[in-house]
């Protein structure tokens, strides 16, 4: 029998890894991938709590999170393509024209 603790700790570690990726990486695609890691960690938390409370709503929220992640990945990648066409670089530090 695996305690609920362990699932939550795994989810916390994955979330922290995703957040680290978003902040430290200088490549737009890797940043988007780190966002997906974070969303997945949250999925794990939802399903773990849903299983513990014997509630099927945990899985239903995961459904919606997956859908929103798909939509956000599609639009995010379209933006990345448009940005790359403009500046020929995937480094977020290259897009500084709105900086003061």
Residues 52-91 within binding reach of another protein (CB under 8 A) = 52-60, 62-64, 66-75, 77-82, 84-85, 89-91
Q: According to CB under 8 A, which residues from 8 to 37 bind another protein?
A: 8-21, 23-27, 29-30, 32-34, 36-37
Specify the residue, 85 or 100, whose C-beta has the smaller distance to another protein.
Answer: 85
How big is the chain, counted in residues?
100
96 in helix, strand or coil?
Answer: coil
Q: Which of 50, 87, 97, 100 binds another protein (CB under 8 A)?
A: 50
Helix (H, G, I), strand (E, B) or coil at 97: coil
Angle between helices 4-24 and 28-52 (to 10 degrees): 170
CB of 100 to another protein, least distance (A): 19
**What secondary structure does DSSP assign to 8-33, as a single string?**
HHHHHHHHHHHHHHHHH---HHHHHH
Q: Which of 23/100 has CB closer to another protein? A: 23
């Amino acid at each position: 029998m695996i305690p609920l603790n362990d699932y939550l700790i795994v989810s916390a570690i994955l979330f922290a890894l995703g957040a680290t990726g978003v902040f430290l990486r200088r490549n737009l695609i890797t940043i988007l991938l780190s966002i997906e890691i974070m969303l997945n960690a949250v999925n794990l938390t939802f399903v773990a709590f849903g299983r513990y409370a014997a509630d099927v709503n945990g899985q239903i929220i995961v459904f919606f999170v997956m859908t929103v992640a798909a939509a956000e990945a599609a639009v995010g990648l379209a933006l990345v393509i448009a940005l790359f066409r403009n500046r020929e670089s995937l480094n977020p530090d290259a897009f500084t024209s709105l900086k003061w």
